[in-house]
Amino acid sequence: MATVTLDPLAEPGNGSGGPSRKQRRRSTFGGGNLWVYLIALVVVAITVGPVLYGALGGFRSNAQLADKPAGLPDPWVWKNYAGVLNNPSFWQYALNSTMIAIITTVVTVVFGLMAAYPLARYQFRGREALFMVFVLGLLFPAAVAIIPLFIIITRNLQMANTWWGVALPQAAFALPMTVVILRPFLMALPKELEEAALIDGASRIGIFWRVLMPLSAPGMITVGVLAFVTSWNAYLLPLLLLQDKMRTLPLGVADFSTEHSADTAGVLAFTTLAMIPALVLFLAFQRRLVSGLQGAVKG
């Protein structure tokens, strides 16, 4: 009877049936390259590092920041955040930012969906050329037309220093991205749904609101989050159109940092609280945001 001798120093996977060290290493990292994970880790550190530094810096005193700029709070100081939360100007800025962002988001999603609907579901002459107009709109940021916008909003429309005066231009510049993302969702929906709804007696408007709009929810959430975060972080347009109590949080951060330039810890606390709503919203809808963008690419 033949006997088999196993060498204890032999590497598994060379005739023994077990995975080799290289295979185990690859399975540990999901089959990817180790350098990819290292680069991703560096990118995450560069991205998240300033946010954590600002958040923790708000829990330190100015003396601690001067002594050890990269240290941890020791002891933890709560008065910086308490001082910002007790500041009535902060809440006024937050209200203005919230209302402008909500108006921008609603207008962008509703009108963007209404614009994408005929471009996706109807066949007419010049449809692709009209869609290219929206695509070309991605090349022009709001800063390009800031002077004409200022003249139109202040002189012609008389909407300076109002929520709508800032929200409407922001929604207009968000429409190209909205149409580009929503059109594939509407094109991917089966036409049999519309035909069945027409047989049941539904009108075109009824089909739009009751059938196509609910099925496009992932795309609507995606463009809604993007519009809200962009509006929340907007600086240039509110700077030109808003004054005094109508100013938004980004402008409030600039004003607070100027007035309290010596209070570094207070400025870090104010900045951290100002970015929390947009950050929480983005993290809460992160999966839906990714799935919505994937659906747009597949379409």
Compute how many other C-beta atoms are within 10 angstroms of the C-beta atom of residue 42: 10
Same domain membership, residue 229 and residue 163 = yes
Same domain membership, residue 231 and residue 121 = yes
Euclidean distance between CA atoms 60 and 197, whole angstroms: 62
Separation of first and last alpha carbons in the chain: 65
Same domain membership, residue 239 and residue 133 = yes
> Is 95 a member of any domain?
yes
Question: How would you write the pLDDT of the chain (299 residues) with one tens digit per residue?
Answer: 455 454 544 545 455 555 555 555 555 555 558 888 889 888 888 888 888 888 888 888 888 888 888 888 888 889 989 988 998 999 999 999 999 999 999 999 999 998 998 888 888 888 889 999 898 988 888 888 888 888 999 888 889 899 999 999 999 999 999 999 888 888 888 888 888 888 888 888 888 888 888 888 888 888 999 999 999 999 999 999 998 889 999 999 888 888 887 888 888 999 899 988 888 888 888 777 766 665 554 54
* Token pair recorded at residue 299: 């379409």
What CATH number did the domain enclosing 193 receive? 1.10.3720.10
Same domain membership, residue 102 and residue 67 = no
> Is 20 a member of any domain?
no
CB 216 within 8 A of CB 109: no
Q: What is the pLDDT of residues 157-206, one digit of tens each?
A: 889 899 999 999 999 999 999 999 888 888 888 888 888 888 888 888 88
> Is 43 a member of any domain?
yes
> Is 242 a member of any domain?
yes
61, 79, 97 - which closes a domain: 79
Same domain membership, residue 64 and residue 100 = no
Nearest of 288, 287, 116, 286 to residue 185 by alpha carbon: 116
Same domain membership, residue 111 and residue 192 = yes
* Token pair recorded at residue 229: 């975060």
> Is 108 a member of any domain?
yes
Same domain membership, residue 91 and residue 67 = no
**Side chain identity at residue 160, one-letter code:** A
Same domain membership, residue 149 and residue 74 = no
50, 79, 108 - which closes a domain: 79
Same domain membership, residue 266 and residue 189 = yes
- Cα distances (angstroms) measured from residue 194 to each of 100, 122, 152, 233: 35, 12, 41, 39
- Cα distances (angstroms) measured from residue 86 to each of 82, 91, 169, 225, 270: 6, 9, 32, 29, 11
Compute how many other C-beta atoms are within 10 angstroms of the C-beta atom of residue 198: 13
Q: Is the peptide bond before 75 cis (omega within 30 degrees of 0)?
A: yes
Same domain membership, residue 179 and residue 69 = no
**Which residues constitute the domain of residue 61?**
27-79
pLDDT of residue 1: 47
Instruction: Say how many domains are in the chain.
Output: 2
Same domain membership, residue 131 and residue 53 = no
* Token pair recorded at residue 181: 């993302």
pTM, to two decimals: 0.80
Give the contacts of 158 (CB within 8 A, at least 6 positions apart).
none
Same domain membership, residue 156 and residue 230 = yes
> Is 107 a member of any domain?
yes
| DSSP percent split of the chain into helix, strand, coil, nearest 5 | 75, 0, 25
